[in-house]
C-alpha cells in the first residue's frame, strides 16, 4: 500500500532541512521497500508570496487527503508587518485547527553525546527524557473574542481569551495518561490555577481523569514553578501535560536542556493518529540559505511520523539509530558544535545520516559501497517530488 506524505517546506531554513529529511525518506524507499508518495505544497510566507494567503486551498486539500504531513517552518521578517490574520504563522495555526491536531507531542531527549553541548551541567541533564504533551487547537491561541480595539478615551487595548471546554481538557489529558502508561507512569499537569479560572478547571478535570489511570501518578505544578524546575532539576519529569501557550513556552525551554532546539522533533495528532510532523524550532531567517541549520529535528520528525502515523516502527528505529551513529562519529552542526567535534553543514549532516542508515543495512563493505554514495548524493527534493 502506497501512503501519501504532504511535504510543506515553508520559509527560512524550512526548505533546507526538509530537503535532508526527504533524502532520508528516499533512502528508506530504495532500501526497505517503503512505499510512499511525496507531494509538495505551499504554506506560510512562501504561500503568501505565490498566492496571497498563508494556506492555499490546494494545500488544505492535500493535507486532508494525505496520510501524514511533514512541515519545515513558517515565518520571517519579510512578512512581520502583515496583519496577524494573514501572516505565515496563521497558515500553520489554521492547518492545526482544520486537521483537529489537538495533541502535540514534544519529546525532549538528551543524546548522551551532547551532554556537554547543553548550557546546564552534564549531571543535571544526562539521561533526560521528558515528553511534553501540549494542547494544540484551543486555549488562548484560538479563543474568541480577540483583537485590538480603541476605547472611548482613544487609547488602544489588545485582548485575547483563554478558554477551554471540559471535553478539550479531557481529551488532551487522555493523550498524556495513555503516553505515560507506556513510559514512566508519571504525569505532571502544568497550569496557573492560583490565578486563572480556566486552568482551575483544567486541574479539576485532570484530577478526575487520573481515577481512570490508577497506575499513573499525577502531580500538578504552576507554570512559573515548572519553568524553574525544568532548569533546576529537569529529570524529575516524565510526561508534562499543559495548555497551548504554556506548552509553547516550556517546550522551547526543555529543548535547550538537550543542547539545542535544533534537535527536537514533534508530532501533532488528531483523534485517529493522523498527524503533522515538524521540528519545534522556527524558520531561523538569520541563518537561512547558509547550509548551517541542523536538520536532525526534522529527520527525527520523520521517525515520529513512521512511528505514530505510518505504523513503521522498525524504520523509525533505523532513523533514530542513524542519528545516534553520526553523533558518535562526532559530526555536529554549528548549534551543537563543541571542542573536539567536527563541524558540518546541513547537507553533510543529512548525507551522513543517510550513509549511516545504508551502513546499517549493508554493513561497511559489499553491496552497500556503491548504493551508499548514490544514496548520499541524492539531492533532497528531486524530480520524484515534482
Q: How far is the CB of 363 from ligand IPM (least distance, A)?
A: 39
Smallest distance from ligand IPM to CB 135, Å: 11
Distance CA 260, CA 169 (A): 30
Q: Does 135 bind Mg ion (CB under 5 A)?
A: no
Q: Does 168 bind ligand IPM (CB under 6 A)?
A: no
Q: Of residues 192, 318, 335, 372, which has the active-site annotation?
A: 192
User: What's the helix, strand, coil split of the chain in %, to 5?
Assistant: 50, 15, 35
Site for ligand IPM in 95-114 (CB under 6 A): none
Active-site position among 111, 141, 164, 308: 141
Contacts of 192 (CB under 8 A, 6+ apart): 199, 222, 223, 224, 246
Among 89, 178, 347, 360, binds ligand IPM (CB under 6 A): 89
> Smaller CB distance to ligand IPM: residue 75 or 234?
75
Q: Are strands 267-269 and 275-277 parallel, antiparallel or unpaired?
A: antiparallel
4, 78, 185, 252: the active-site residue: 252
Q: Where are the alpha helices (DSSP H) in the chain?
A: 14-32, 44-51, 57-65, 88-98, 122-125, 166-181, 197-210, 223-232, 244-257, 296-308, 313-328, 346-362, 368-377
Name which of 248 and 312 has its Cβ closer to Mg ion: 248
* 192 catalytically annotated: yes
Judged by beta carbon, residue 59 or residue 244, the one nearer Mg ion is 244
Q: Which of 5, 63, 66, 92 binds ligand IPM (CB under 6 A)?
A: 92
Out of ligand IPM, Mg ion, none, what residue 89 binds, judged by CB under 5 to 8 A for its kind, is ligand IPM
Query: In whole angstroms, how far apart are CA 93 and each of 49, 253, 328, 385?
Result: 18, 21, 37, 25
| 141 catalytically annotated | yes
The residues in 222-251 that bind Mg ion, with binding defined as CB under 5 A, are: 248
Q: Which stretch binds ligand IPM (CB under 6 A): 89-97, 145-153, 182-190, 255-263?
A: 89-97
Residue nearest to ligand IPM (CB): 89
Beta 342-343 vs 331-332: how paired, if at all? parallel
90 is catalytic: no
Q: Which of 309, 310, 295 is nearest to 353 (CA)?
A: 295
The b-or-e profile of 333-342 (16+ CB within 10 A means b, else e) is bbbbbeeebe
Burial letters 183-210, b for 16+ CB under 10 A, else e: eeeebbbbbbbeeeebbebbbebbeebb
Q: Looking at 224, 286, 314, 328, which residue is catalytic?
A: 224
Q: Does 248 bind ligand IPM (CB under 6 A)?
A: yes
Interaction with ligand IPM in 274-293: which residues (CB under 6 A)? 280, 282
**Site residues for ligand IPM per CB under 6 A:** 75, 89, 92-93, 248, 280, 282
What residue ranges bind Mg ion (CB under 5 A)? Answer: 248
Catalytic positions: 141, 192, 224, 248, 252
Amino acid at each position: 500500500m502506497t501512503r501519501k506524505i504532504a511535504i510543506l517546506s515553508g520559509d527560512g531554513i524550512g526548505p533546507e532541512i526538509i530537503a535532508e529529511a526527504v533524502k532520508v525518506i528516499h533512502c528508506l524507499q530504495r532500501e526497505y521497500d517503503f512505499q510512499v508518495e511525496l507531494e509538495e505544497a505551499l504554506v506560510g510566507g512562501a504561500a503568501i508570496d505565490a498566492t496571497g494567503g498563508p494556506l492555499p486551498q490546494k494545500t488544505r486539500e492535500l493535507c486532508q487527503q494525505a496520510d501524514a504531513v511533514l512541515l519545515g517552518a513558517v515565518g520571517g521578517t519579510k512578512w512581520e508587518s502583515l496583519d496577524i490574520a494573514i501572516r505565515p504563522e496563521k497558515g500553520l495555526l489554521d492547518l492545526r485547527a482544520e486537521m483537529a491536531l489537538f495533541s502535540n507531542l514534544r519529546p525532549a531527549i538528551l543524546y548522551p553525546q551532547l551532554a556537554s553541548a547543553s548550557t546546564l551541567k552534564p549531571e543535571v541533564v544526562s539521561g533526560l527524557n521528558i515528553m511534553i504533551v501540549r494542547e494544540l487547537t484551543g486555549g488562548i491561541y484560538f479563543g474568541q473574542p480577540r483583537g485590538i480595539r480603541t476605547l472611548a478615551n482613544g487609547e488602544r487595548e489588545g485582548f485575547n481569551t483563554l478558554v477551554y471546554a471540559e471535553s478539550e481538557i479531557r481529551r488532551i489529558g487522555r493523550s498524556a495518561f495513555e503516553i505515560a502508561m507506556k513510559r514512566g507512569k508519571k504525569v505532571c499537569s502544568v497550569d496557573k490555577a492560583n490565578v486563572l479560572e480556566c486552568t482551575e478547571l483544567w486541574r479539576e478535570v485532570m484530577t478526575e481523569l487520573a481515577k481512570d489511570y490508577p497506575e499513573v501518578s499525577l502531580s500538578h505544578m504552576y507554570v512559573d514553578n515548572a519553568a524553574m524546575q525544568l532548569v533546576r532539576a529537569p529529570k524529575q519529569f516524565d510526561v508534562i501535560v499543559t495548555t497551548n501557550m504554556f506548552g509553547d513556552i516550556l517546550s522551547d525551554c526543555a529543548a535547550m536542556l538537550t543542547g539545542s532546539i535544533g534537535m527536537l522533533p514533534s508530532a501533532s495528532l488528531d483523534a485517529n493518529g493522523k498527524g503533522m510532523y515538524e521540528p519545534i524550532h522556527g524558520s531561523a531567517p538569520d541563518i537561512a540559505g547558509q547550509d548551517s541549520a541542523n536538520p536532525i529535528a526534522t529527520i527525527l520528525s520523520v521517525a515520529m511520523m513512521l512511528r505514530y502515523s505510518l505504523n513503521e516502527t522498525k524504520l523509525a528505529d533505523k532513523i533514530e539509530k542513524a542519528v545516534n551513529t553520526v553523533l558518535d562519529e562526532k559530526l555536529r552542526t554549528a548549534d551543537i558544535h563543541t571542542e573536539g567535534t567536527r563541524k558540518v553543514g546541513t547537507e553533510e549532516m543529512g548525507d551522513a545520516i543517510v550513509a549511516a542508515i545504508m551502513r546499517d543495512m549493508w554493513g561497511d563493505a559489499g553491496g552497500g559501497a556503491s548504493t551508499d554514495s548514490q544514496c548520499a548524493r541524492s539531492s533532497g527534493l528531486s524530480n520524484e517530488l515534482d
